[in-house]
Each structure stands twice: as C-alpha cells, then as structure tokens.
C-alpha cells in the first residue's frame, strides 16, 4: 500500500529498504542526507518541487486574468455610458426639431411637367452646349453616342471651329465629376440668360422656374433619361430593338388612324349596300401596314406613287396575304379616294337640280396623310392576330381560301355571308379607275378572278 496525501502533509517521505519496499519515517527522525538530485522517482510520478512550481504558475496566470477581466469590464462600462449619453443627446435634438415642426422638402419623381417653360429651355440648352442641331431623334442620339465616354483625360470641353463644345460622359453616373460640371454649366447659363432677359423686361421663365435648385433637379432628371437613350443608341443590339419598337409604334398608330377613319364611314356604307355589322371587320390589327415613303424604294413603287398622286411625305400601303379578295374592296368603297379620306355622303345624293347658292364657309382642314398601294407581290405574309384583351376572331369570308387551307389551325367564325362575292359587286360601284386597276391586279395575284 503506497503513501497517502496525508502522509506527505505530515512530513513523511519514502525510503527504500534493502528489499525495495518503502518505509515511512517521522519528519523529526534522522533524515537521509543524500541530495534530492540523486533520488530516482518511481515511474509515472511527478517530483514534488516541479509540481509546486507548476501550481505557482497557474496561480499567477489566474491573478493576471482576474486583473485583465476587471480592466475590460471597466472599459466596457465607460463605453456603455458614453453611448447612452450620445443617444440621449440625439433624442433631445430630434425632439427639438419636432417641436419646431420643420418640414423637409418632398422629393418628386418628375417635376418637369410642373415647369413647362423651363422644360423647353432646358432641353434646348442641353443640345446647344453639346453642339447638336435640331435633327431627328435618331440622328441626335447617334451624334451623342460618338462621345459616350466623354473626352480623354476627363476633359470637359473641346473647341471646334471656334466653338466650345461640352462632352459629358453619358456612360457614367450623373454625379460623376465631368457630368456634375456639365450640369452646373447648364444651370449657370440658364440663370444668366434669364437674368439678362429680365433686365430688358423680356423674361421667359416664371419666378419659381428661375431658381438654381429647381433647374438642377430638372437637369438631372433630363440627363438620366437622355443618357439611357444615348447608351441604347451606342449598343447595336439595343439600337435594333429600340428601332423595332419605335417602328412598331408608328405602324400601329397609323393602322389605328385608318381604322378610325373607316369606322366613320361604316354607317353610310351599310345603308348604301344594305348590310350590317361592318364594324366587326374593322379591327386595327387586321388593317394594312402603312410605311413611310423612302427615296430608295423601287422604281415600280415610285411609278405607282406618282400614278396615284401621292406626295413624298405620304405613306405606302402594304396589304396582307391572308385577306380575301372580297374584303379588299371595302377599303376603297367606303373611301373617297386611295388616300383613305372618308366619303362625303352628300356627294352620293344624285340630283338634276342645281344646288342653291350658299354663303362661302371655311371648313376646318382635314389633316390626313395620303397613301398609295404597293404592288400585290409586296404583301406581308402574317396571320390575322388581334392585340385586344379579348381578341377579335376574323370571319371565314374575310380570309383567302387558299391561305386558310395552308393554315388550318387559324381560328375563324361563321357569318358575314353577304361578303361572299362582294368583289364583283363592288367593281360595278363607285370605285375610281385607280382603285379598280389595283383590285384587278390583286385578283390576278390571288388567282381569284378568272374572268379578268
């Protein structure tokens, strides 16, 4: 049995006998005079001096940790106190502002429409500083896109033929260094011009417009819009998409205009031919496409334009391959001429008596665009598609039978039986020679009139 912890505390130590077994001796008895260094501890036993030394080190580390912990807690308490003081001061400031009922100016998304006079002057000033003439929108954007990144070394302006031209960086944000200088130049110029005009009693802006902050706000709004358009013009892919969208909008607007004009004449048309429900066929998406006349169009198109007496600022009307030969004459029967002007119902009343003299009156000019028919071979091959929320379904008699056979999935409705054979009936009516010639040519293209 080995010595216990109590034995060590009472001063006993181990001593090896000759037989190798340890014996206990009182601490007051004669001790072994051999040095502790010569003692050989048994296997797995830590020498007592070393153990005591380790315990002292542990106690020292614990004391240092206690001191560090106390210092940390004191520092944390000081910071918490400082934060609470700052929060209290901030609450006092907010309470003071609330008591004064200070109202901050509201931020409006777009204030341009609230300042119409300033809006026009601002747009013109931007073009003036950029040396862009009053060209078409596409041409202006194309010119600006050439300097989309501004000038090298962040220069603000360049001089060409004695004229100082600003080159903003359209590819950067509105608050960049170059663009901020450009906007400030706009504000300063507008303010200076208006001040000079007012000295001569020729002011153009309202008092609320003649404010630098208002001009700067509108300038930033216009710059963002213009910069997006310039970036789109500089990107070939976006430019094509933008041109397609604009072209589609123009064509759609023209189709709607022509459809509305024909709706104005439907009542007289139904009365004259004893038919009804003509409005059901006049869907905007079922109308011909009206294209801007181009100098580069074919010689045949130029010949047709001159024959139909349409100026260069008119439109070229392109038909649709799906429409039947019977529906095409309706375009002309309910029109006074190929331009698309509605018929005058009073002109249709035949009388042998001379009209009574009346005082000459000036009627409001009917602002319309004349159009001519392109060759039937230029017709667009696209199915009838209605863009309405509740799509308009065409009648079977409206569609060319050969086209419908080639497109069996096309949805149609039964009805409008009076439309069948209307082409032959219309040729005997009041069509002009030009209209009859085109319809005869269309009949040959569609193969629908073998007697021609």
- Tens-digit pLDDT string for the chain (452 aa): 455 444 444 444 444 444 444 444 444 444 444 444 444 455 557 788 888 888 888 888 888 888 888 888 888 888 888 888 888 888 877 877 765 544 444 444 578 788 989 999 999 999 899 988 766 777 888 888 888 989 988 899 999 988 899 999 999 999 999 999 999 999 999 999 999 999 999 999 999 999 999 999 999 999 999 998 888 888 888 778 877 777 777 777 877 777 777 777 777 777 777 777 777 777 777 878 888 888 788 899 989 898 888 899 888 988 888 888 887 777 666 554 334 443 433 333 333 344 454 444 544 445 667 888 888 888 888 888 877 778 888 888 888 888 999 999 999 888 888 888 877 776 666 667 787 888 888 888 877 444 43
Q: How far apart are CA 386 and CA 177, in angstroms?
A: 50
Give the pLDDT of residue 198.
93
User: Taking the mean position of all CA atoms in its chain, how far away is CA 234?
Assistant: 16
Give the pLDDT of residue 430.
61
Q: How far apart are CA 123 and CA 222, in angstroms?
A: 8
- Residues in Cβ contact with 223 at an 8 Å cutoff, skipping those fewer than 6 apart: 126, 168, 174, 179, 182, 183
Enumerate the β-bridge partners of residue 395.
413
The CB-side HSE value for 357 (13 A sphere, CA atoms) comes to: 0
Sign of CA dihedral 183, 188, 189, 193: positive
Q: How far apart are CA 23 and CA 27, in angstroms?
A: 13
Q: How far apart are CA 314 and CA 306, in angstroms?
A: 11
Report in angstroms the alpha-carbon separations of 261 from 174, 267, 369, 386: 46, 12, 12, 19
Closest CA to 374 of 293, 443, 285: 293
Whether the CB-CB separation of 248 and 219 falls below 8 Å is answered with: no
Report in angstroms the alpha-carbon separations of 100 from 87, 90, 97, 106: 20, 16, 5, 18
Give the pLDDT of residue 325.
82
Q: How far apart are CA 18 and CA 2, in angstroms?
A: 17
Whether the CB-CB separation of 338 and 372 falls below 8 Å is answered with: yes
Closest CA to 318 of 343, 293, 283: 293
Three-state secondary structure string covering the chain: CCCCHHHHHCCCEEEECCCCCEEEECCCCCCCCCCHHHCCCCCCCCCHHHHHHHHHHHHHHHHHHHHHHHHHHHHHHHHHHHHHHHHHHHHHHHHHHHHHCCCCCCCCCCCHHHCHHHHHHHHHHHHHHCCCCCCCHHHHHHHHHCCCCCCHHHCCEEEECCEEEECCCCCCCCCCHHHHHHHHHHHHHHHHHHHHHHHCCCCCCCCCCCCHHHHHHHHHHHHHHHHHHHHHHHCHHHHHHHHHHHHHHHHHHHHHHHHHHHHHCHHHHHHHHCCCCHHHHCCHHHCCEEEECCCCCCHHHHHHHHHCCCCCCCEEEECECCECCCCCCHHHHCECCCCCCECCHHHHCCCCCCCCCCCCCCCCCCCCCCEEECCHHHCECCCCCCCCCCCCCCEHHHECHHHHHHCCCCCCECCCHHHCCHHHHHHCCCCCHHHHHHHHHHHHHHCCCCCC
Whether the CB-CB separation of 320 and 288 falls below 8 Å is answered with: yes
Give the pLDDT of residue 193.
94
Give the pLDDT of residue 184.
95
pTM of the model: 0.47
């Amino acid at each position: 049995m080995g010595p216990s912890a109590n034995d060590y505390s009472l001063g006993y130590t181990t001593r090896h006998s000759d037989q190798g077994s340890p014996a206990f001796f009182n601490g007051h008895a004669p001790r072994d005079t051999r040095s502790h260094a010569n003692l050989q501890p048994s296997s797995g036993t830590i020498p007592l001096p070393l153990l005591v030394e380790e315990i002292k080190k542990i106690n020292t580390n614990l004391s240092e940790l206690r001191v560090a912990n106390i210092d940390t807690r004191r520092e944390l308490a000081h910071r918490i106190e400082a934060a609470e003081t700052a929060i209290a001061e901030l609450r006092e400031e907010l309470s003071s502002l609330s008591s004064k009922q200070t109202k901050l100016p509201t931020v409006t998304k777009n204030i341009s429409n609230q300042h119409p006079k300033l809006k026009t002057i601002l747009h013109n000033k931007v073009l003036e500083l950029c040396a862009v003439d009053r060209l078409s929108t596409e041409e202006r954007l194309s010119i600006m896109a050439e300097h989309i990144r501004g000038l090298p070394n962040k220069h603000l302006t360049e001089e060409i033929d004695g004229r100082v031209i600003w080159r903003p960086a359209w590819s950067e944000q509105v608050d960049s260094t170059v663009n901020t200088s450009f906007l400030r130049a706009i504000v300063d110029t507008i303010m200076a011009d208006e001040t000079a005009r007012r000295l001569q009693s020729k002011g153009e802006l309202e008092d609320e417009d003649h404010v630098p902050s208002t001009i700067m706000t509108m300038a930033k709004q216009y710059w963002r819009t213009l910069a997006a358009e310039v970036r789109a013009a500089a990107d070939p892919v976006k430019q094509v998409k933008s041109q397609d969208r604009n072209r589609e909008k123009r064509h759609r607007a023209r189709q709607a205009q022509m459809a509305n004009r024909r709706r104005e004449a439907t009542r007289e048309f139904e009365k004259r031919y004893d038919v009804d429900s003509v409005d059901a066929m006049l869907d905007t998406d079922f109308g011909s496409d009206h294209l801007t006349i181009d100098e580069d169009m074919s010689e045949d198109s130029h010949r047709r334009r001159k024959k139909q007496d349409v100026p260069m600022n008119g439109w070229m009307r392109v038909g649709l391959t799906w429409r039947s030969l019977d529906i095409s004459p309706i375009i002309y029967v309910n029109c006074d001429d190929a331009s698309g002007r509605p018929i005058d119902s009073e002109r249709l009343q035949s009388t042998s008596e001379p009209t009574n003299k009346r005082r000459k009156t000036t009627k409001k000019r009917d602002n319309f665009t004349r159009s001519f028919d392109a060759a039937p071979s230029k017709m667009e091959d696209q199915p009838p598609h209605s863009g309405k929320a509740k799509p308009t379904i065409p009648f079977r008699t409206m569609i060319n039978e050969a086209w419908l056979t080639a497109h069996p999935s096309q949805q149609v409705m039964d009805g409008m039986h009076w439309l069948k054979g209307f082409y032959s009936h219309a040729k005997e009516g009041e069509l002009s020679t030009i209209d009859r010639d085109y319809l005869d040519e269309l009949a040959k293209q569609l193969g629908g009139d073998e007697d021609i």
